[in-house]
C-alpha cells in the first residue's frame, strides 16, 4: 500500500508491504541509515526515533502505522549544518564509545529536554531506561544530556 511519512521535514511516499517495519522504511526507503538496528526485538533502543514528537522504537511499529505522521531521526537533529547541543555535549562529555546506541540515546535525550531542560540524574536515567549501551556505563550519557539541557537553557 502507498504511504507518506514526513521524515525530518521531507515527505517520503512509497509503496510498502504492510509488514515492513518503520525502521526498514527509514533506512531503506528514505536512505537514512543513522537510525540503527541492534536487536529487532524492542530491547535495545538503537532504533529510537521521534514519531509525532514522541520517542518510539521504530523496529516495534509497522511503516503503515506511521502513514501521515512526522518522524524525526538523528539526521534531523542538526541545526543549520551545525551539531545540535545534544550532539555537541555527547562529543564533549565522551557520551559515546562505539556509537552504536548513540542515535537512540540522542533521540530520547531530545524528547526529554523538550519537556524538561534541567533533568535530575534519576529523570535522565528513567528517560533512557529503554536504551542499552554496552560501552559507556551510562554515566557520561547522563552527564551529556544534562550538559545539553544547561546549554539549551542558556541559549
Ligand atoms: S533495534 Fe529496535 S529496540 Fe533494538
Ligand atoms: S557507545 Fe557503544 S553501545 Fe553505547
pLDDT tens profile 14-58: 999 999 999 999 999 999 999 999 998 999 999 999 999 999 999
Tell me, using a 6 A CB cutoff, whether residue 20 lines ligand 1: no
C-alpha cell at position 28: 531503506
Q: Which pLDDT belongs to residue 154?
A: 79
> What digits encode the pLDDT tens for the residues 118-140?
999 999 999 999 999 999 999 99
Nearest ligand (C-alpha, residue 90)? 2
**Sequence-distant (≥ 6) Cβ neighbours of residue 1 within 8 angstroms:** 15, 16, 18, 64
Tell me, using a 6 A CB cutoff, whether residue 3 lines ligand 1: no
Q: Which pLDDT belongs to residue 79?
A: 83
Q: Could you tell me if 119 and 146 are in contact, meaning their C-beta atoms sit under 8 angstroms apart?
A: yes
- What CA–CA distance (Å, rounded) separates 22 from 65? 8
Q: How far is the CA of 99 from the centre of ligand 2 (A)?
A: 5
Amino acid at each position: 500500500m502507498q504511504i507518506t511519512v514526513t521524515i525530518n521535514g521531507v515527505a517520503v511516499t512509497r509503496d510498502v508491504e504492510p509488514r515492513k517495519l518503520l525502521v526498514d522504511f527509514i533506512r531503506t526507503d528514505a536512505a537514512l541509515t543513522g537510525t540503527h538496528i541492534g536487536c529487532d526485538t524492542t530491547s535495545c533502543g538503537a532504533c529510537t526515533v521521534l514519531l509525532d514528537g514522541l520517542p518510539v522504537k521504530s523496529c516495534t511499529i509497522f511503516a503503515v502505522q506511521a502513514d501521515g505522521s512526522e518522524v524525526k531521526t538523528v539526521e534531523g537533529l542538526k541545526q543549520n549544518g551545525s551539531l545540535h547541543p545534544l550532539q555537541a555535549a555527547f562529543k564533549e562529555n565522551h557520551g559515546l564509545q562505539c556509537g552504536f546506541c548513540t542515535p537512540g540515546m540522542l533521540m530520547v535525550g531530545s524528547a526529554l529536554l523538550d519537556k524538561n531542560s534541567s533533568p535530575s540524574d534519576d529523570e535522565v536515567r528513567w528517560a533512557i531506561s529503554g536504551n542499552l549501551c554496552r560501552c559507556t556505563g551510562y554515566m557520561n550519557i547522563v552527564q551529556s544530556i544534562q550538559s545539553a539541557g544547561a546549554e539549551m537553557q542558556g541559549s
